[in-house]
Amino acid sequence: MASARPRPALEPKDPSMEHDDAPQQPWLHDLSLTLAAPTQVWSAADGQIGTVGLAGVHHGERRVLSLLRLEVDGREPTAVAAHTARGDSTTYVAVPRHLGDPGPDPTVRVERRRDVEPGLVRERYTISSTAAEPVTCTLGLLVGADLAPLDGVKGGTGRPAVAPDGVGGHVLSWQQDSLRAVLRLPGAHTTREGDHARAVWDVVVPPGQSVTHELLLTLDDTRAAVTAPSREAGWSRVEVQSADRRLAPLVDRCLDDLRLLRLAAPGADGVEEEFVGAGAPWFLTLFGRDSLWTARMLLPVSTDLAMSTLRLLAHRQGTRTDDATAEEPGKILHEVRSAGFSLNEADDDGADRHLPPVYYGTIDATPLWALTLHDAWRWGAPDDEVERLLPALERALAWQVEHGDADGDGLLEYVDRSGHGLSNQGWKDSGDAVRRSDGSRASSPLALAEVQGYAYAAAVHGADLLDAFDRPGADRWREWADRLRREFAQRFWVEDAVGAFPAIALDRDKRPVVSLTSNIGHLLGTGILDADGVDVVARRLVGSDMLSGFGIRTLSTQAAGYSPTGYHVGSVWPHDTAICLAGLAAEQRPETAPVADALLAALTAFDGRPPELFAGDSRSAQPTPLPYPAACRPQAWSAASALSLVSSVLGLRPERDRLTVDPVRPWSFGETRISGLGTHGRPVDIEVSADGVGALATR
């Protein structure tokens, strides 16, 4: 790339180009984000956007601007502070130390405020002065765009800069395929510097005054698979007053991030349907599993979001068998994009992994769809809306038997038949996620433990819905569920030196993959375990090898493949711990309290914006959780885990137009009052006394 001038001392090292310059996924744990999906701006902590790593202005599945460097008289000002009022607005403060009065006190400062809306980025640059004499300077921006596809950025491979049109005026533009970006710089004069552009304002600041200029970037992609919703979030406002001061800001930040992750896509008859995109920066699109879990966790504040997500996924429900896309009749999709997405990884045979624009390679989204429909109904979703989705429910239940159980052994299993899709198709979908305790990888087809729990609950609760709406078939699904429960009990239980537990999976030879993992926590509350099984699973989850103090590890520390920063083999995922916590609460287990304490500590440590995952080091060894450097944030189900935590510790139990509350014991949060949660669109006030006695009142 051409550059404005040689600046070797100021260019940051690109962490995505290490190890003999081999491309690697960029790290983002120390970057600043301003977001309003599908638009996101990632920068250094001082607001500067360089030409390396992830930093840039992204819209949909493209990075647009890859360079946006602010200078005063050709120099970068010294960063002082940054603050964020909410996720779509960030302010950075810096000092141009060469300006102003002599002496140690700064008398000139530069404030850079960045505001993001869907398809719009606005930056305001304000130079203020308390110097004794007028300050004369130039305010400059070095601007560059690469229009790189998101999967290329994720793989650590950049693109050459794309020169803008309009240099010489105050409006620059870029056009490529369906993407158009227009950058307005009122009052600036622009010049070309290689394939970059420089914009400059001449500034005079009188004593005690300030001067402001602005940038306005509009973005549009006419072929985008998803867009911003046309309406505001419909969920109720949640207000928390608690002696435990961690809860209120945590819930506020959670709901703010989820609001900014909202997206929409056309459903049946072209009607806009809303959902929550899986996460920034890589997954701002519709994901079956992620969007469903998020909607489920948000049911205490909105059934509308769940129903919209369900309708959209039902609209895309599989109708044919296609190995290339993993589509099957009745199956719920994995993800949707406007173009294919390279995983930038190869399998054991060296074959590249590349997903098509619409991809169905997930084993669990279909039963999770059925469970979300049932849960939305229990939380008060309108009967007529639920009833219209019952044909899709029947197709989903049929898929479990006719396609999910490909070999007819009564269990759901998966295998990538295309050779280029995901080799693992549960929520732990990395290539090395399913390991034995000796560290060796299991070979597919694989039958995951938690998927059997989802499938069992989907069949049982699907039958309940069919009965409630006088539709036939309920007995068939209950009988099928009973057989699945017996098969699970006979084939998944294994032992180690401590005792029994369910294996993570059965391998292609139907042998248990003996490894203690967090997957077993997802079985709680599904009904697939008997009382003894519930007891064993609950106790194993809180053993010192599994509970880190900040959450439940994905893999036991006693396993040979354990690594605290292993993506699915030792790290902690907030949503995973929240699901385990919800299961413990549903089973009314005493282990609920320590797991809640661990999750709350983690969410608080990340200032209410929990990342996708973090390191699984013990709390005694690391007093704060260590970031996983490449983790997405905000991640939809990580953010939603905060509300799931609140629901679990309150012991909320919905039954259509009735809600009960049974707080966890021991109750450690002091006097607490929460408003805005409820069923059937009717918020209630929930009060818990200092000693843990709960009560509620309808508004």
Domain boundaries, the chain: 17-221, 239-698
Query: Would you call 232 exposed, middle or buried from its count of C-beta atoms within 10 A (0-12, 13-18, 19+)?
Result: exposed
Residue 3's pLDDT band, with cuts at 50, 70 and 90, is very low
* pLDDT tens column, 83-101: 998 899 999 999 999 999 9
- The neighbour count for residue 472, using CB atoms within 10 Å, is 9
Q: Rounded to a whole number, what is the largest CA-CA distance in the chain? A: 86
Provide the CB-side half-sphere exposure for 313 (13 A, CA). Answer: 37
Residue 193's pLDDT band, with cuts at 50, 70 and 90, is very high
Sign of CA dihedral 94, 100, 102, 107: negative
Model confidence at 419: pLDDT above 60: yes
**674/657 Cα distance (integer angstroms):** 19
Residue 235's pLDDT band, with cuts at 50, 70 and 90, is confident
- The neighbour count for residue 450, using CB atoms within 10 Å, is 28
Per the CB < 8 A criterion, the answer to whether 256 and 87 are in contact is yes
- The neighbour count for residue 348, using CB atoms within 10 Å, is 9
Tokens representing 183 are 């950058």
CA distances from 291 to 286, 335, 654 (A): 7, 10, 21
Mean pLDDT of the chain: 94
- The neighbour count for residue 125, using CB atoms within 10 Å, is 21
* pLDDT tens column, 245-264: 999 999 999 999 999 999 99
What average pLDDT does this structure show over 487-496? 97
Sign of CA dihedral 102, 103, 108, 110: positive
Element spanning 266, H or E: strand 262-266
Model confidence at 8: pLDDT above 80: no
Q: What is the pTM of this model?
A: 0.95
What average pLDDT does this structure show over 64-68? 97
What average pLDDT does this structure show over 640-654? 97
Q: C-alpha angle 384/386/388, rounded to 5°?
A: 70
Sign of CA dihedral 385, 580, 405, 293: positive
Model confidence at 7: pLDDT above 60: no
**102/643 Cα distance (integer angstroms):** 52
Query: For the chain, what is the radius of gyration of the CA atoms?
Result: 26
Residue 658's pLDDT band, with cuts at 50, 70 and 90, is confident
What size, in residues, is the chain? 699
Residue 157's pLDDT band, with cuts at 50, 70 and 90, is confident
Element spanning 90, H or E: strand 89-95
**255/270 Cα distance (integer angstroms):** 28
Instruction: Enumerate the β-bridge partners of residue 90.
Output: 84, 114
Residue 11's pLDDT band, with cuts at 50, 70 and 90, is very low
pLDDT on residue 92: 98
Tokens representing 32 are 């600043």
What average pLDDT does this structure show over 394-408? 96
Residue 21's pLDDT band, with cuts at 50, 70 and 90, is low
pLDDT on residue 20: 53
Closest CA to 640 of 299, 154, 347: 299
DSSP letter string, 169-181: BSEEEEEETTEEE
Per the CB < 8 A criterion, the answer to whether 366 and 447 are in contact is no
Model confidence at 1: pLDDT above 50: no
**609/442 Cα distance (integer angstroms):** 34
Of the ranges 14-18, 119-123, 679-683, the best mean pLDDT one:
119-123
CATH code, 239-698: 1.50.10.10
- The neighbour count for residue 12, using CB atoms within 10 Å, is 12
Per the CB < 8 A criterion, the answer to whether 371 and 455 are in contact is no
DSSP letter string, 462-480: HHHHHHHTT-S-HHHHHHH
What average pLDDT does this structure show over 17-29? 73
Identical fold at 17-221 and 239-698?
A: no
Per the CB < 8 A criterion, the answer to whether 493 and 475 are in contact is no
Per the CB < 8 A criterion, the answer to whether 41 and 60 are in contact is no
DSSP letter string, 175-218: EETTEEEEEE-TT-EEEEETTEEEEEEEEEE-TT-EEEEEEEEE
- The neighbour count for residue 479, using CB atoms within 10 Å, is 12
Taking the mean position of all CA atoms in its chain, how far away is CA 228? 17
* pLDDT tens column, 32-57: 999 999 999 999 999 999 977 999 99
**DSSP class of 401:** I
Task: Collect all residues with Cβ–Cβ distance below 8 Å to 59 and sequence separation of at least 6.
Answer: 38, 39, 40, 119, 179, 181, 219, 221
List of long-range contacts for 680-687, beta carbons under 8 Å, 24+ apart: 680/303, 680/379, 680/380, 680/656, 681/303, 681/380, 682/380, 682/657, 683/236, 684/659, 686/650, 686/661
Per the CB < 8 A criterion, the answer to whether 414 and 444 are in contact is yes
Per the CB < 8 A criterion, the answer to whether 452 and 404 are in contact is no
Element spanning 335, H or E: strand 335-336
pLDDT on residue 24: 87
Model confidence at 416: pLDDT above 90: yes
Residue type, 300: P
pLDDT on residue 18: 45
What average pLDDT does this structure show over 379-392? 97
What average pLDDT does this structure show over 482-501? 97
Lowest mean pLDDT among 146-160, 460-474, 596-610, 658-672: 146-160
* pLDDT tens column, 282-315: 999 999 999 999 999 999 999 999 999 999 999 9
Model confidence at 14: pLDDT above 50: no
Closest CA to 407 of 447, 368, 453: 447
What average pLDDT does this structure show over 453-473? 98
**567/485 Cα distance (integer angstroms):** 30
Sheet holding 505-506, edge to edge: 447-448, 505-506, 512-513
- State the CATH architecture for 17-221: Distorted Sandwich (2.70)
Percent residues over pLDDT 70 in the chain: 96
Closest CA to 626 of 634, 616, 635, 641: 616
CA distances from 447 to 452, 453, 512, 629 (A): 8, 11, 9, 31
Closest CA to 229 of 309, 121, 149, 295: 309
Closest CA to 253 of 638, 609, 676, 575: 609
What average pLDDT does this structure show over 402-410? 94
